[in-house]
Amino acid sequence: MKTTEKILWAIAGLGFLAGLVGLFNRITGGHLVAAYNTYVPWGLWIAVYVTLIGISVGAFLVAALGYGFGVKAVQPLGKMSLLVALAALAGGLTSVWLDLGRSERIFNLFLSTSPRSVMGLMTWFYTLYGILLLVMLYLARKQPQSFALRVLGWIGLPFAILFGGAEGSLFGVVGARALWESGLTPILFLVEGAFSGVALLLFLSVLFGEREPQPFLRNLTLALLFAVLVLEASEYFTAFYANIPAKTASLQIVLFGEYWWVFWIAHLGLGLFLPLLLLAAAPKNQTALALSGALAALMAITTKLNLVIPALTVPEFEGLRTAYVGPGLSLDYFPTATEWLVATWAVSLAGLIFLAGYRLLMGKQATA
């Protein structure tokens, strides 16, 4: 086992063990251990969930390009891309499952879902997507040159695009939240997810010594980074120009609220501009490529934190903040220690699934 792989196992293992404390608190204390409430019912766990789903979609797009459309530059990362997609999907679904009020009733989404429910349809999308990943992983291991794998790549690419956009539709169709309701929201989810997933693969390609795909991944990461900048600028500028009170109030919180640094420093600075600088200035430097990919993937959660929480902390009508006073009736939110630990556990679980799959599927390559 390579030293790099051992370090990743150690990080994921420690995160998993530390997260067990939070998981125990969640199981024994229910939702009382979390800071969300009646007015802010979604928080960190939902942000982790949509971030990991986005990474999954981005990683799968790379696999589909390699297997389905014969892009030779990324074919060496085919199995790794599928593994990242599967691991991120598992971690994301675990995070949202723990967020549910009655987690044991998850199967009701399959048994009694309205065909007009976006959330119900997404449940079936998750299932089909998970099956697709497992089948493609099996074929990639047993029959990497098979026609069936190529066909699944063809089918999978439009499905992944639809899947990534539909994930954004969970928010985009909520008319009661002006920050979410937009035709651009599904597109932002798709592009941001693709950006974070490709960036993570760029990081992993350096760590695992896969040099051949790096120029393609670098260029694709740069292209998606510019797309994110354009889409976000369009969303912000048009929102402020239209001056819809509910939407501008949420954006004011994002840009100038108590946690302004999440947008300006973490998202723009570390998640976009620093990777842009590194990728442009040192296109062949391994350290620069790894750092840019790691930062872009790690800071991906900031876009979802800035989407999920600010929209909920703006009162739906004037005077709501003072109209009712009592436990759970608050428009303020910051994750508790238990929430951070559970989030760490879900992400570490995804990491362990990836590493275990890498050992299993890469065979002798993993022990070289």
Q: Which residues contact 334 (CB under 8 A, 6 or more apart)?
A: 35
29 within a domain of the structure (yes/no): no
The span from the CA of 88 to the CA of 85, in Å, is 5
- For residue 5, the tally of other CB atoms under 10 A from its CB is 16
Is 51 in contact with 32 (CB distance < 8 Å)? no
pLDDT at 276: 97
16 within a domain of the structure (yes/no): no
pTM of the model: 0.93
The span from the CA of 189 to the CA of 191, in Å, is 6
The span from the CA of 349 to the CA of 19, in Å, is 9
pLDDT at 368: 38
pLDDT at 165: 84
Q: Which residues contact 65 (CB under 8 A, 6 or more apart)?
A: 71, 74, 153, 157
The CATH number for 297's domain is 1.20.1630.10
DSSP 318: T
305 within a domain of the structure (yes/no): yes
209 within a domain of the structure (yes/no): yes
The span from the CA of 102 to the CA of 132, in Å, is 28
110 within a domain of the structure (yes/no): yes
Q: The dihedral of CA 60, 65, 68, 70: what is its sign?
A: negative
171 within a domain of the structure (yes/no): yes
The span from the CA of 105 to the CA of 35, in Å, is 23
- For residue 202, the tally of other CB atoms under 10 A from its CB is 28
pLDDT at 123: 84
Domain that holds residue 95: 36-326
Tokens of 342: 């559970």
Coil vs helix vs strand at 329: coil
Tally of structural domains, the chain: 1
261 within a domain of the structure (yes/no): yes
Tokens of 275: 């990777």
Q: What angle do CA 47, 292, 285 make, to 5 degrees?
A: 165
pLDDT at 100: 87
Q: Which residues contact 359 (CB under 8 A, 6 or more apart)?
A: 1, 366
308 CA to centre of own chain: 13
Q: Which residues contact 215 (CB under 8 A, 6 or more apart)?
A: 73, 283
| pLDDT, averaged in runs of 10, over the chain (368 residues) | 87 97 94 89 94 95 93 94 96 94 80 78 87 95 90 89 83 86 90 96 95 96 97 93 90 94 97 96 94 97 94 83 80 94 97 94 54
Tokens of 64: 């589909």
346 within a domain of the structure (yes/no): no
